[in-house]
């Protein structure tokens, strides 16, 4: 799984932030390593010149093998809160999306399962 971190002009310490984000994403999404090919993280400070409320934003996009990409967005007061919120949202979205997909594949067919055939 590749991790790509993009930051806007208002974000400092990009190298340290990339290393931290890489470690956090790999820990959060480790069980999806077979399904997710790449995760793109976009961090921004929407009001970097002004002080204010939830002006930090994190958008995460997971690229899946043979499926459309999944994306989530989280606004918060700090980059850490925005990042962790987006990571939690992405984990839940991957759980539900891939869970439905795998459950659908594991189901028996009424045409081939002998327990469905009436005697």
pLDDT at 38 over 90: yes
Q: Could you tell me the two tokens for 77?
A: 């007061």
Tens digits of residue pLDDT in 13-30: 788 888 999 999 999 899
Confidence of residue 108 (pLDDT cuts 50, 70, 90): low
- Does the global pTM surpass 0.75? yes
Q: Could you tell me the two tokens for 43?
A: 């961090």
Q: Is residue 31 one of the residues assigned to a domain?
A: yes
Tens digits of residue pLDDT in 78-100: 889 999 999 999 999 999 988 87
Q: What is the spatial distance between Cα 117 and Cα 110, in angstroms, rounded to a whole number?
A: 7
Tally of CB atoms within 10 A around 66: 7
Residue-level pLDDT at 117 = 54
Confidence of residue 57 (pLDDT cuts 50, 70, 90): very high
> Residue 46 is part of which domain span?
2-106
Alpha carbon 42 to chain centroid, angstroms: 11
- What CATH number does the domain containing 15 carry? 3.30.160.100
Closest Cα partner for 79 from 52, 54, 49?
54
Q: Look at the block and give the residue holding tokens 């995460």.
A: 60
Q: Is residue 112 one of the residues assigned to a domain?
A: no
Q: Is residue 117 one of the residues assigned to a domain?
A: no
Q: What is the spatial distance between Cα 116 and Cα 119, in angstroms, rounded to a whole number?
A: 10
Q: Quick check: 117 and 108 in contact, CB under 8 A?
A: no
Q: Is residue 116 one of the residues assigned to a domain?
A: no
């Amino acid at each position: 799984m590749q991790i790509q971190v993009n930051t806007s002009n208002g974000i400092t310490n990009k190298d340290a932030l990339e290393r931290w984000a890489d470690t956090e994403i790999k820990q959060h999404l480790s069980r999806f390593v077979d399904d997710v090919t790449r995760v793109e993280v976009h961090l921004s400070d929407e009001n970097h010149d002004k002080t204010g409320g939830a002006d930090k934003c994190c958008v995460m996009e997971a690229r899946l093998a043979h499926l459309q990409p999944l994306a989530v967005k989280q606004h918060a007061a700090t980059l850490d809160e925005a990042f962790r919120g987006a990571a939690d949202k992405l984990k839940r979205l991957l759980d539900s999306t891939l869970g439905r997909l795998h459950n659908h594949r594991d189901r028996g067919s009424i045409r081939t399962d002998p327990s469905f055939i009436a005697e």
